[in-house]
Amino acid sequence: MTICINCAVELDEGLKICPLCGKDPRNRVEQDKIPGNNPTGVIQLQKKENRRYLWEISGIIAFSGIVGCTIIDLLISKEMRWSLLSDISILSAWVILTLCQFANKRPLIIVIGLLLTTLTALFFTDQIVTGIEWFLAIGLPVTIAVFVSAGILIFLYKVIHMKGLNIIATAFILLSGFCVLIEIVLDKFMNGSLDILWSLIVSVSILPVSLVLFFYHYRLKKGNRLDSFFHI
């Protein structure tokens, strides 16, 4: 048995043309010149085709869901009511899946796409339900805060050489700041005034834990063992 150097399929003796790729199984020049006619290239092409098939199937399912919800709403209510919300949700989910499929190696594009998709979905939801009431006051700042906090955490995880308890401590600090922002936004929207209470309690509870985690992380970084501190 011989093996085609272009697509790695096993061939019977005497074959001069590979029945799979249609190339000369002994010609290395063709392998170098034609992309995809080697084992690695074939695998990459299969992955791209699988992603495309998944995207097409997901598009069909999403379109069918949107059409189905719209028709049912029109038959029952004689107008589009709740189907608008379901259509927005389905379309947003499909856009997010599309980003994950075709920009999986570009995290910045995925983050920006997720942010814009989320904001757009919230905007139209508020427009349909209340006519732009809570989007600017709550939806926009809270969504941006979530993505900024996640972006900071991911960035630190990428750039910090020694990862460990310091990442958890940073996440706690970001969480405390996020809680403060949530209470400020809600107080401004609901009461028109600031009365920071529960978020301050959360921050006071979290910050000491973060400091302890930072302390043990950098003590361990110097070569000290954790069991030596706790006498394990």
> In the chain, where are the structural domains located?
1-37, 134-227
Going by pLDDT thresholds of 50, 70 and 90, the confidence category of residue 32 is: very low
Task: Give pLDDT, residue 224.
Answer: 52
Over residues 68-110, the pLDDT tens digits come to 999 999 998 888 889 999 999 999 999 999 988 888 778 888 8
Backbone angles phi, psi at 37, to 5 degrees: -95, 45
Going by pLDDT thresholds of 50, 70 and 90, the confidence category of residue 35 is: very low
Residue 177 has pLDDT above 80, yes or no: yes
Whole-model pTM: value is 0.68
Task: Give pLDDT, residue 36.
Answer: 47
Over residues 213-229, the pLDDT tens digits come to 888 887 776 555 545 55
Residue 231 has pLDDT above 70, yes or no: no
Task: Give pLDDT, residue 134.
Answer: 92
Over residues 123-158, the pLDDT tens digits come to 999 999 888 889 999 999 999 999 999 889 888 888
Q: How many CB atoms within 10 Å of residue 159?
A: 7
Going by pLDDT thresholds of 50, 70 and 90, the confidence category of residue 166 is: confident
Task: Give pLDDT, residue 31.
Answer: 44
- Taking residues 44-68, report their average pLDDT: 83
